[in-house]
Structure 1
Amino acid sequence: MGFVTGSTTLARSDAPRPARAARPGRRGALWAALLAVLLVAVVLSISCGSRPIGPATTWHAVPYVLTGHADAVPGVAPLDGAVVQTRVWRTAAGVLTGAALAVAGALLQGATRNPLGDPGILGLTAGAAFAVVTGGALLGLSGVVNQLWLAAAGSAVAMTAVYALAAVARGGARPVTLALTGAAVSAGLTALTSAILLSHQATFDTFRRWQVGELTRPDGTFLLLAAPVVLVALVLGWWLARSLDTLSLGDALGRGLGTHPALTRSLVGVAVVLLAGTATALVGPLVFCGLLVPHAVRALVGVSYRRVVPACLLAGPGIVLLADVVARVVVPDREIQVGIALVVIGAPALVAVLRGRAVAT
């Protein structure tokens, strides 16, 4: 699989203002701030919820949850122990999916040189969701392992289809053509997924909340199987960051500097499929994370992918977890899905990041 390069700018041409790297003296403070936001988000995610549990009780129960004894916490009611266990797994799911989607978005934007590169916009999450729902409803393929490989396969097929359709369009697979084709494929797959869910009641009952994105579905087994896949893909993406920096100078100059554009983009495709597919299998098709986070961190750390990728690794989980905390507490005595909260928060945040700034990739 491969990508065609191009470039586009989403800003007023009369006053472009590219993102610049922070001065060396401020860089350490920026990294410390990103790490602090992530740690605060983790603490809030474990501490907050629709059921009030005191901080002392919550953090007393966490070590027992991590060792598999949530139902036998001394001095803690079994129901409270179960709630803390759910919050811990929910937090772990948010960390995995936030990191996966943010890094996948950054890699896509670098490989396609398209500021609209995002697993949601280019149809990868819709392809993964369609494959998981179709496999469960029509083929009886349930269980964690089946859902993981179905999601990865669905993402790969969707990405290939988007690229193939864009390549035969007039002008070839330019960035705007890729984005429009991805939006069309994503809309079609989402409609088909909804049709399958509505015609299969059992599948609908299983996936109706997952379809809009929720962190409560993955349990410890699901997370333990998904984590190595995400980790391998993140390491691959980090390793490719230097090559993406070279490709940003152009394919010809990149070859002169020892980078192989086709191989780099193929490896980026593998990493993105694993990241987007696994994240979708875990929590459903979340949107905005892969688009918002890379642009936000570029405003802080600059455009080099050697800084953008690790910054996305910290900022992505923080944004997803904070959106999930808002989803838990905004409506008293009930919770809404994190996918809804992420759209409500992410849309104005993306507009704020892009306003008056040239989008650089």
Structure 2
Amino acid sequence: MSATRTEAVPRTVTMRRRDLSWPVLLGCLLVALAVSVAVGTRPVDLAVTWSVLPHAVMGDTQSVSGVPALDAAVVESRVWRTAAGVLTGAALAVAGALLQGATRNQLGDPGILGLTAGAACAVVTGAVLGGLVSPGSQLWLAALGSAVAMLLVYGLATAAKGGARPVTLALTGAAISAGLGALTSAMLLTDQATFNSFRTWQVGDLSRPDGTFLLLAAPVILVGLLLAWPLGGSLDTLSLGDALGRGLGAHPALIRLLAGVAVVLLAGTATALAGPLVFCGLLVPHAVRAFVGVSYRRVIPACMLAGPLVVLLADTVARVALPDRELQVGIALVIIGAPALVAIVRRKGVVTA
């Protein structure tokens, strides 16, 4: 009896901690939203920020009276930047969780596996060769590039000796990312106008998308998130192995297909919005598992909250890290993500199953 009670106490504590994780995550995200709107390189009085905020959300700062036009414009740009961070963070974090579950690879990430590089290359190719620079064109080009990169990485990894093992996928993705990144840089250097337009976007920038771009991207990301949410239980089954999963009634090929479609929509759209951000899709799923457990039924919705939180905090730090100038959010994420990647590999190793 005493042993049973002893085992029940840690389990109860763990369940309570997981239940508390949701309001904590939501509260932290709300704080990050407020800080993202209020903090930046140019100081704006908080009273002015909150008075302009409703008008900025509606895109109507012109009608605000008693506020300097420059302050109103700054608040409006922060609102769009915050919205881009929410969409991008949720999309990349959920895409990373889906990739980790579908491939059973702890290093699954749209950046590491080449999807963001493929999306970026497609967007730049369309701009340089076809003059396709409208938000709608960039969204579809990014989705196409992400899909082609996914098929290329998986095809090459499958053809390698031993098949598409996690290590093979990661190495193939890194090689494809390097190649596509070099091609993207070469095209930008040959076209000065496109280079000027995509210079900061290439390293990850939330300040580029405007309201029109965000309104076009939001439904695509929403579809990807809605497609990802019900896959949690299927990914839990898939984590037991394909053979056992089939025995339990799962269809591994269909699960991976649906996960792939969701990843393409999420990673491609996020890249079109903010550029080829890396590490968000790797870090966030690993971080939330420490709070909500390993089940993808909880990991995926937790990523929808934690992804925007990480991106917004990184972007806020990037704004104020240097006096009188801003860093890009992609740089801040790399500074955070590189040591975290080393820590993950040292602590857990690389899954080879």
**Paired-residue identity, %:** 72
Give the Cα separation in 1 of the matches to 2:246 and 2:179: 38
Give the Cα separation in 1 of the matches to 2:108 and 2:244: 23
Give the Cα separation in 1 of the matches to 2:171 and 2:339: 22
Against the structure 1 CA distance between its residues 244 and 22, is the aligned structure 2 distance closer, same or farther, given a 3 Å change threshold?
Answer: farther
The residue that corresponds to 2:236 in the other structure is 245
The residue that corresponds to 1:14 in the other structure is none
Cα deviation, residue 22, structure 1: 6.8
The residue that corresponds to 1:326 in the other structure is 317
The equivalences for 1:125-164 within 5 A come to 125-164=116-155
What 5-or-longer segments of structure 1 have no aligned partner?
1-19
TM superposition score normalised by structure 1? 0.92
Give the Cα separation in 1 of the matches to 2:170 and 2:349: 18
Give the Cα separation in 1 of the matches to 2:115 and 2:296: 22
Cα deviation, residue 32, structure 1: 1.3
Higher relative CO (CA 8 A, sep ≥ 6), structure 1 or 2?
1
Give the Cα separation in 1 of the matches to 2:108 and 2:167: 10
Against the structure 1 CA distance between its residues 21 and 258, is the aligned structure 2 distance closer, same or farther, given a 3 Å change threshold?
Answer: farther
Match of 2:211 among 206, 209, 220: 220
The residue that corresponds to 2:85 in the other structure is 94
Match of 1:84 among 75, 88, 91: 75
After superposition, the CA RMSD in angstroms is: 1.7
Q: State whether residues 44 and 325 of structure 1, in contact with CA within 8 Å, keep that contact through their aligned partners in structure 2.
A: yes
The residue that corresponds to 1:202 in the other structure is 193
Higher helix share: 2
Tell me whether 1:172 sits opposite 2:158 in the alignment: no
What 5-or-longer segments of structure 2 have no aligned partner?
1-10
Against the structure 1 CA distance between its residues 71 and 223, is the aligned structure 2 distance closer, same or farther, given a 3 Å change threshold?
Answer: same
Against the structure 1 CA distance between its residues 21 and 212, is the aligned structure 2 distance closer, same or farther, given a 3 Å change threshold?
Answer: farther
The residue that corresponds to 1:276 in the other structure is 267
Give the Cα separation in 2 of the matches to 1:47 and 1:83: 10
The residue that corresponds to 1:254 in the other structure is 245
TM superposition score normalised by structure 2? 0.94
1:44 aligned counterpart, secondary structure: helix
Give the Cα separation in 2 of the matches to 1:199 and 1:255: 51
Against the structure 1 CA distance between its residues 203 and 218, is the aligned structure 2 distance closer, same or farther, given a 3 Å change threshold?
Answer: same
The residue that corresponds to 2:304 in the other structure is 313
Cα deviation, residue 353, structure 1: 5.9
Letter in 2 for 1:309: I
Cα deviation, residue 28, structure 1: 2.1
The residue that corresponds to 1:65 in the other structure is 56
Against the structure 1 CA distance between its residues 136 and 144, is the aligned structure 2 distance closer, same or farther, given a 3 Å change threshold?
Answer: same
Give the Cα separation in 2 of the matches to 1:22 and 1:93: 36
Q: State whether residues 295 and 359 of structure 1, in contact with CA within 8 Å, keep that contact through their aligned partners in structure 2.
A: no
